[in-house]
Chain A
């Protein structure tokens, strides 16, 4: 299994509070991604990183920010959580672009009440 650890695995938070999810990898892969998974929508890309301090937006980036200060860590922050951000969040890593595969972490189930 790819060395990807997400924390926390489960979190319940209140509307309007900030939340940070962490993804830690031991594979030294260049690319890291945050996806969310919702019924009827499948997996959708939130943000991704192509190197330390290099990040870009994905399909559903509104309300989210990310940071990558070290190769191994990629943080996803919800500045002010809303109920629409209740979802399962997955981190993924990939070694390179092009013909290369992505591997997923265990996921974080976030509930905003």
Chain B
């Protein structure tokens, strides 16, 4: 089966840096995604890792260690609009086709 864990809630200050961790266990791992979701809206794509290492994209970076089953999303220079839920999702190829399995999400509140 699959198991994806991430913290439920985090708070941070505007301008600061925050790291959201995600650990996973899955039999058919084929990549890890991070999505941002504002309340009542669909998720929007932030990053994708399939190989170990750090992927940087502007203020957002994502890291993956396949051997440890661990990823993190790093948000720099936090802005108020970054207050949202951040979803860690594993692409699983069990059964012969790719499907995304989501963690419970981390609600980030950015304060002035």
A and B interact: no
Chain B residues near A (Cβ < 8 Å): none
